Every structure is written in structure tokens, then in C-alpha cells.
Amino acid sequence: MIDIQAIKQRFGIIGNDPNLNRAIEVAVQVAATDLTVFINGESGTGKDVFPQIIHQNSSRKHGPYFAINCGAIPEGTIDSELFGHEKGSFTGAYDTRKGYFEVADGGTLFLDEVGELPLATQARLLRVLENGEFIKVGSSKIQKTNVRVVAATNVNIPQAIEKGRFREDLYYRLNTVPIHIPALRERKDDIKLLFRKFASDFAEKYRIPAVQLTPEALVLLENYRWDGNIRQLKNVTEQISIIEKERIITPEVLRGYLPMQTALPTIFKDESKADSISERDLLYKVLFDMKKDITELRKTVNELTSGQIPTATQITTPIKATVINHVGEANMVEYENTQDAEVEYLQEKPSNDSLSLQDKENEVIIKALRKYNGKRKDAAKELGISERTLYRKIKEYDIKM
């Protein structure tokens, strides 16, 4: 039977969330095998602890262990770092160098941020995982290695595959045993435990009394989103411990250390869902834009019907709006202006309202043509429409000048 509490004490894991306990249990169970493990979770959730759990509970625990941040290594040198290179294989290669897959033979290699690997490097990594073979940069000699690979990322790999940024075959090879680390906002009961631990640690480090939260401040702390997860909570606790003179922290004080979170729906890029926009947020944005556009459309129509004709310089942006016609049906109307602004009208006929609007439009066009002595280009500019649209309206209303 797995002693989860003993594992937590050994590796400094704090919390009793069931999903967290399940992740620890899976890590210990899979440690006895040589299966590749794929750890997924947001940035700051503590993914780096789990490869150590796997390594220390495996038969490789006396072998080497290396943790490599793939996102921190430049693309031009990542192959050399992982697989090594031969002398003279590229500019600056003054000596033969062993890569991590060679020096970690018989041990465990933790590839953090594996989603940042270039496609060419992904192909090399796939070969190692499938055959245990690799070739140094600048060499033609195939070498063997016996390395246990544990990978982690906060990138949404399925989306990266769709965009052609990650190999699908590599994903399935890495994802032999998946382990998901829950975000801090999914572990609300653990937040107070983590805060107390961090406050105690910083009190000991800086030789000051530990800060404490009022019940109201604790509620605020637990309901905060914590996009930076445990890392963000630790930073906030340290700031409060150093800066605040009072050791009892109220909600008013705590708010000063928490970045503002807008109550309105906004479009943002989630770390775990890169390049994605939620349908709800997109719908809200469309509704807000639509309200603004309808207001502008009503203003334009009122000006036209009252004889106040906006010029081309007054109509500068395309309008896309949903308007309701006289029978109650919704119609999507798109108003677009190119070099000359152009206003089109959705009309239902026959209708008294549409007839009066046509009469008014006819009258306005005639006034504009008379003002410019029949010069269509100048009249169209005054009306805020294109010359082509004006010509069509003249033919439609059979206007004689």
C-alpha cells in the first residue's frame, strides 16, 4: 500500500486534495516500470516534483537524474544539448560533447516544457523513445542509450498538433501514462494550508512573526483565481511578510497584493489552451460590439431621415449589426466603406415606413445633385456614398436632372 503522507513529507508537498493525492499515487505506481510519463498542468502547479518522485521510487534511483527546461535552450543548440555533437560539426564546436541522453544513461531525464521543442528535435526525440537510439550532431554513428523519460508541459498539446507545432506520433509516445496536476483554484481547501506554510517559512527566514489572515481575508484568498498557482501564492505571501508591519492581514490589505481581476467577461489566452478563445467570451464581445454598432446605425438613419446628411469623413468605420425589420425578423446587415463611405439600407416592401424612407432618400439625392449642378462625384461625396451607388439610386428612382 502506498503511503501518500510519507511521500508528501519527503518531497515537501502540501495539500489533501483528492486529485493531488491521485496524481501522487499514479506517480508512485508507475515508478517501478520504465514507461514514459507525461505530466500536464498549468505553470506554477509544481510539476517538477513528480519526476523526482518517479525517479526516487524506481530501480534507477541510484542512476543520474537531469531536469532540462526545453523552452530555455535556444533552438540552434537544443540538439547539441540533448544528443551531443562532434568536434567541428558547427561553428564553435571546438570539442566533442556528450548530450544529456548519453550522460543520463541508466537514469531519468525530465524534459520540462517539451511542447517548446522544434519539430526537427521532436523527430530525434521520437527515435530515442522508440528504439533507444540517437545520433550526435555532425556524426553518422548510431549510439544506444537506456534513459527513462518523463516529460511535462503547460501547452495544450492537442491544439499544438492541429496547428502543426507538435508531432502527433510523439505525443502518443510520450503520453503512455498521463498525470494531471490540478490548478490551485481547483484545490481551494489547500490554499490556507499553503499560505500558513509559506508564512511560517518566511517568518523563520527573515526572523519576524508570521503573518495571519482574518476570516474575511481567508475567504478572499480562497476565492482568488491564482493564475500563477502555487508560485504566485508563495510570492504574495513573501511580499506581505516583508512589507506589512501589522501581522494580522485584513481583506483591505490583502487586496493591495492581488492583481485586479475584472468582473466583465474578457478574451484572454489561457496557458493551458494556447491560441484559444472561449465561445462564451466571444459571444459577449460580439454582443457588446453589436450594441455599439446598432446605436451608430440608428444615429445615421435618424440623420438621413431628418435631412442631416453625414459626409464621407463622418462615416469612417465599417458597421456590422443585427437589425429587426417591421415583421420582427432579425437580419444581419453589413455596412462597409471603402475609399468612399457607403451606406446601404435594408428595406422591406411594400410598407408605409419603407415608402416614406424612399421618398426622403429620393428628395435628399435630388437636393445634393442640384447643389452640385448634377456632378455625381461631388454629390456622392456629400451624401457619404460611392458614385456607383448614387448612379444606381438615380436609375432606381428615375431621377431626371
* pLDDT of 133 strictly over 70: yes
**263 found inside a domain:** no
Q: Which of 153, 180, 207 is the last residue of a domain?
A: 180
* pLDDT of 373 strictly over 90: no
Do 194 and 299 belong to one domain?
no
**274 found inside a domain:** no
Band (pLDDT 50/70/90 cuts) for residue 279 is: low
pLDDT attached to residue 269: 43
Residue in 157, 118, 381 with CA at minimum distance from that of residue 275: 157
* pLDDT of 85 strictly over 90: yes
Do 197 and 161 belong to one domain?
no
Band (pLDDT 50/70/90 cuts) for residue 94 is: confident
Mean pLDDT of 231-244: 97
pLDDT attached to residue 289: 65
pLDDT attached to residue 143: 96
Task: Read off φ and ψ for residue 143, nearest 5 degrees.
Answer: -115, 150
pLDDT attached to residue 384: 78
Select the more confidently predicted residue: 90 or 172: 172
Do 22 and 156 belong to one domain?
yes
> Measured between alpha carbons, how far is 291 from 6 in angstroms, rounded to an integer?
58
> Measured between alpha carbons, how far is 305 from 291 in angstroms, rounded to an integer?
21
Using one digit for the tens of pLDDT, what is the confidence trace for 144-187? 999 999 999 999 999 999 999 999 999 999 999 999 999 999 99
Band (pLDDT 50/70/90 cuts) for residue 344 is: very low
Do 251 and 334 belong to one domain?
no
Question: Which CATH number covers residue 207?
Answer: 1.10.8.60
pLDDT attached to residue 304: 67
CB count within 10 Å of CB 311 equals 11
CB count within 10 Å of CB 368 equals 20
Angle among Cα 173, 175, 181 to the nearest 5 degrees reads 160
Least confident of 55-59, 128-132, 303-307: 303-307
Asked whether the beta carbons of 35 and 25 are under 8 A apart, the reply is: no
Q: Quick one: DSSP state of residue 144?
A: E
* pLDDT of 401 strictly over 60: yes
> Measured between alpha carbons, how far is 142 from 325 in angstroms, rounded to an integer?
73
Question: What's the number of domains the chain is made of?
Answer: 3
* pLDDT of 205 strictly over 70: yes
Asked whether the beta carbons of 74 and 38 are under 8 A apart, the reply is: no
Mean pLDDT of 18-25: 96
Band (pLDDT 50/70/90 cuts) for residue 343 is: very low
* pLDDT of 293 strictly over 60: yes
Do 384 and 286 belong to one domain?
yes
Mean pLDDT of 22-42: 96
**Which grid cell is 329?**
425578423
Provide the CB-side half-sphere exposure for 393 (13 A, CA): 25
pLDDT attached to residue 71: 92
Do 175 and 243 belong to one domain?
no
**268 found inside a domain:** no
Q: Which residue has the cell 545520433?
A: 135
Q: Which of 151, 180, 209 is the last residue of a domain?
A: 180
**273 found inside a domain:** no
Do 173 and 205 belong to one domain?
no
Least confident of 31-45, 113-127, 132-146, 349-363: 349-363
Mean pLDDT of the chain: 82
Select the more confidently predicted residue: 386 or 122: 122
**271 found inside a domain:** no
Element (H, E) at 301: helix 279-305
**232 found inside a domain:** yes
Do 195 and 324 belong to one domain?
no
pLDDT attached to residue 288: 60
pLDDT attached to residue 350: 45
**269 found inside a domain:** no
* pLDDT of 200 strictly over 80: yes
* pLDDT of 340 strictly over 50: no
pLDDT attached to residue 366: 86
Question: Which CATH number covers residue 81?
Answer: 3.40.50.300
Do 133 and 21 belong to one domain?
yes
Q: At what angle do helices 18-31 and 49-56 cross, to 10 degrees?
A: 40
> Measured between alpha carbons, how far is 269 from 175 in angstroms, rounded to an integer?
24
Asked whether the beta carbons of 303 and 343 are under 8 A apart, the reply is: no
pLDDT attached to residue 393: 82
Domain that holds residue 131: 4-180
Do 116 and 30 belong to one domain?
yes
Residue in 259, 253, 265 with CA at minimum distance from that of residue 227: 259
pLDDT attached to residue 308: 53
Band (pLDDT 50/70/90 cuts) for residue 383 is: confident
> Measured between alpha carbons, how far is 56 from 33 in angstroms, rounded to an integer?
12
Provide the CB-side half-sphere exposure for 366 (13 A, CA): 12
pLDDT attached to residue 374: 82
Q: Quick one: DSSP state of residue 108?
A: E
Do 212 and 234 belong to one domain?
yes
CB count within 10 Å of CB 199 equals 21
Longest dimension (CA), the chain: 98
Q: Which of 139, 161, 180 is the last residue of a domain?
A: 180
**266 found inside a domain:** no
Do 101 and 208 belong to one domain?
no
DSSP string, 338-393: SSS--------SS-HHHHHHHHHHHHHHHHHHHHTTT-HHHHHHHHTS-HHHHHHH
Select the more confidently predicted residue: 270 or 107: 107
pLDDT attached to residue 225: 95
